[in-house]
Amino acid sequence: MEAQAECWTSVPVKVIQNNNVSLTKDLTIRDILDAIKALPKGEAPGHDGVPMEFFHEYVEEVVPTLLQTFMAMLKSGVTLASINKGLITLIPKTGD
């Protein structure tokens, strides 16, 4: 409870103008490239079954489509319900 209270007190009540400008600017190809570079390699794929290595390998091919898709969602204010889906899989480990 203490950690939760500390977390909520550290969240600003209002977004300041500098942050608002940053949060509402159009995405760029560089934003998408940086996000893909930050994706971890060697992890289980998401619910769509596409491993992160796919995005690393075909970055030049997927970036324009991803940018167009994300910008359409931001401008319309409508996102697919599946964009926030996650899949948690328990993997038993043996030994040390």
The backbone region for 94, taken as left when phi is positive above 0, alpha when psi lies in -120 to 50, beta otherwise, is beta
* Tens digit of pLDDT at every position of the chain (96 positions): 888 888 888 777 787 888 888 878 889 999 999 999 998 888 877 777 888 899 999 999 999 999 998 899 888 888 777 777 776 777 788 876
- Grouping H, G, I as helix, E, B as strand and the rest as coil, residue 52 is helix
Angle between helices 29-38 and 59-76 (to 10 degrees): 120
Amino acid 54 reads F
Per-domain residue ranges for the chain? 2-76
- DSSP 8-state secondary structure symbol assigned to residue 48: T
Nearest Cα neighbor of 66 from 38, 42, 32 is 32
> Is the whole-model pTM more than 0.75?
no
The first and second tokens of residue 20, run together, are 């608002």
